[in-house]
Amino acid sequence: MLGISVEFLAHWGARLAIASPIIAISGLVLFRTGVMTFGGPLLIVAVATIIALVALLMSVLALVGGLGGDGAQTNRALLGLIVSLVVVFAPLNGLRKAMTVPPIHDISTDLANPPVFSHVPSLRADGDNSLALDSKVMDMQKAHYTNLRPVTLEVGMAEAFAQAVLTAEDMGWEIVHSDAASGQIEAVVTTLLFGFKDDVAIRMTAVDGGTQIDLRSVSRVGQSDLGANAARIQRFLDAIQ
C-alpha cells in the first residue's frame, strides 16, 4: 500500500482521530471563556476537522488493507474510523446547510416594517453584526424563506403578551427587555455549542380578530446563520399557536 504498512495506518489513524476532538474542544473552550474571539476558534475547529479527515482516510485504508489480518490493528482502525466520523459530522453538516440557505443572519416575519431593538444594542459589542436593515438581505430572505409569516392569535394584547413571554422562557431564551404596554419583548439566545449570542425582538400588534405576532432574529457574529434564525422564529410561532 504505497510502502505504508497497515500497522502504521491503523496506529496513526487512531491517534489522529483521538487528537482531533481534543483540538476542536480546546477551540470551543477558548471561545466560551473569552480568551479568543470568533475567528480563532473557528480556525482551530477547521484544523481539527482536517486532521479528522486524514484520520478517516488512514483508518479506511487500514481496514481495507488489513481484512482478515491482525485483530488489534482492525480494532484500532475501527476506533479511528468511528471517532473521526463523529468529529467531521458537525462541520460537514454545517457546510451542507450553508450551501442550501442564503448567506444572511438577519431574519424577520415583516420585511416591510421589521421589529426594532431598543435595549439589545446596549448589550452588543462594537465588532458585532450591524442591526441596520439591509435591503439586499431582505431580498434574499424574501426569495428563500417564502413561508415565514407572522401569526395572529385570537386573543387580546395582554394575553398575547403573557403567552409570548411564557413561550420565550420555555424555549430557554433570556428576556432582557419587555414592555407590555407597547407589546415589545427583546431576548438573547445563546447557542449550545459555540455559545454564540443571537438577539430576538418580538412585536405584538392589535389587529381585527386578535393580536399579530412578529419576530426578528439576528446573529451577532458570522455572515451566514446556516438557517438558524429562520428556524428559531418558526419554532416560536409554532409553539405559541
Q: What is the pLDDT of residue 1?
A: 46
Q: What is the pLDDT of residue 65?
A: 79
Q: Kindly report the backbone phi and psi dihedral angles of residue 2, in degrees, each rounded to the nearest multiple of 5, phi listed first.
A: 55, 30
Q: What is the pLDDT of residue 3?
A: 53
Domain boundaries, the chain: 6-98, 106-240
* pTM as predicted: 0.80
List the Cα angle 51/52/58 in 5-degree steps: 90
Q: What is the pLDDT of residue 132?
A: 93
Tens of pLDDT along the chain (241 residues) come to: 445 788 899 999 999 999 999 999 998 888 878 787 777 888 998 999 999 999 999 999 998 876 655 678 889 999 999 999 999 998 888 888 888 999 999 999 999 999 999 999 999 988 899 999 999 999 999 999 999 999 999 999 999 999 999 999 999 999 999 999 999 999 999 987 778 899 999 999 999 989 999 999 999 988 899 999 999 999 999 999 8
Neighbouring residues of 22: CB distance < 8 A, sequence distance ≥ 6: none
- Look up the CATH architecture of domain 106-240: 2-Layer Sandwich (3.30)
